[in-house]
Amino acid sequence: MKVPFVDLKAQYNSIKEEIDQSIRKIIDDSNFVGGAVIEGFEKSFAAYLGAGHCIACGNGTDALEIILKALNIGPGDEVIVPACSWISTSEAVSTVGAKPVFADVLPLIYTIDPKDIAKKISPNTKAIIPVHLYGLPAEMDEIVAIANQYKLKVIEDCAQSHGAVYKGKNTGTFGAAAAFSFYPGKNLGAYGDAGAIIANDTDLAIKMKMIGNHGQLVKHNHIIEGRNSRMDTLQAAILSTKLPYLKQWTKARQHNASVYNDKLQHSGLPTPLVPEYSDHVYHLYVVQVEKRAKVMEQLHTLGIQTVIHYPAPLPFLKAYHHLNYQPKDFPIAASQMDKILSLPMYPELSESQILYVCENLNEVIKH
Ligand SMILES: *Cc1c(COP(=O)(O)O)cnc(C)c1O
């Protein structure tokens, strides 16, 4: 049996007619940037999250940068980010001229540790970027409380958490603003790069909309200098077609995770820890294994594709070598970096495929 890590074609095939029609309509109309199709997606995505405003943009990294810029975060400022994430989270902070300050993560929960955030605050700290890593909401009550105490902005990185809920509220609605990515492999994926910003404050939303479109709201009226970070109407049409399916795709991911949990419960492998007040949307299903390279190789020969997210915590990447971080600075991140393993996860994964993965994983780790 073959079990790919993700299968984007399976999802396309399940809604092929609708997708093809929506793409054809954009090309027939030949309106490729801006307009009603973009506004339509922005409205429906904001409504989906129960948020005030959605601003479509080029990608998730741009979304983070635009938010930071709009909040006037730049040189001399520090922004606290988790040690474990995709590099965009810290990269965006550096791009606007501020300094990313890393905080350790919670064991088996994988999101930023609020206690370590408190330790990393300095007089220069301006914001915290919690990442709802793998699709599990970060500990928002504690994070928001720290932010309020020190008057810091909260910027949520929701690139992996479309539809994830924390204590009854959608991720993306807790802070000043939130960044979403619609990179093809994300829980809501475009057919290329795309992203969005979510915010409740109208003035901030207008500023972010301007920054992403050369500082203008009306053509040729450049109120400030901005940049070009717009979503293509082709991507907006695809995302609008897919959005009504997101709830059922999320349910399928959660069902798949429950099968994994069940079949791996006697394996001795640490499976994801999900607080009972959180709704995990399983962008990734991550376990921890010893002798990981061997396990991956053996699974690979059995047709099972696994991936590591991510091979090194951000502070240990070559890009941050000059900051001279040691494993003891981020003990949890360091202790799990050689063990974390992402198993195949996507809505269309079949139960027999999951059983095949679990049977073989259980067998492989015994030897
Ligand atoms: C994918 C991702 C991003 C960036 O999104 P792009 O659209 O690829 O720029 C940011 N943060 C996290 C945690 C991500 O997984």
* Distance from residue 60's CA to the centre of ligand 1 (Å): 5
Instruction: Please state the atom number of ligand 1 nearest to the C-alpha of residue 283.
Output: 15
* Distance from residue 180's CA to the centre of ligand 1 (Å): 8
Is this structure's pTM higher than 0.75? yes
* Distance from residue 266's CA to the centre of ligand 1 (Å): 34
What is the structure's pLDDT at 367? 83
How does pLDDT run across 123-136, given as a tens digit for each residue?
999 999 999 999 99
Q: Which amino acid is at 5?
A: F
By most ligand atoms within 8 Å of CB, the mutation choice from 157, 188, 197, 308 for ligand 1 is 157
Pairing of strands 340-343, 177-181: unpaired
| Segments of the chain with pLDDT less than 50 | none
What is the structure's pLDDT at 213? 97
What is the structure's pLDDT at 315? 98
* Distance from residue 267's CA to the centre of ligand 1 (Å): 32
Burial of 314 (0-12, 13-18, 19+ CB in 10 A): buried
Instruction: Write down the residue that tokens 């057919």 correspond to.
Output: 191
Instruction: Please state the atom number of ligand 1 nearest to the C-alpha of residue 59.
Output: 7
- The first and second tokens of residue 343, run together, are 């198993």
* Distance from residue 254's CA to the centre of ligand 1 (Å): 21
* Distance from residue 179's CA to the centre of ligand 1 (Å): 9
Q: How far apart are CA 132 and CA 47, in angstroms?
A: 20
* Pocket around ligand 1 at a 6 A CB cut-off: 59-61, 85-86, 88-89, 131, 157, 159-160, 181, 183, 193, 195
By most ligand atoms within 8 Å of CB, the mutation choice from 181, 193, 309 for ligand 1 is 181
Please say whether the dihedral angle defined by the alpha carbons of residues 133, 212, 95 and 183, taken in this order, is positive or negative: positive
How does pLDDT run across 24-52, given as a tens digit for each residue?
999 999 999 999 999 999 999 999 999 99
Instruction: Please state the atom number of ligand 1 nearest to the C-alpha of residue 195.
Output: 7
* Distance from residue 175's CA to the centre of ligand 1 (Å): 18
Q: How far is CA 19 from CA 8, 14, 190, 244, 252, in A?
A: 13, 10, 11, 12, 20
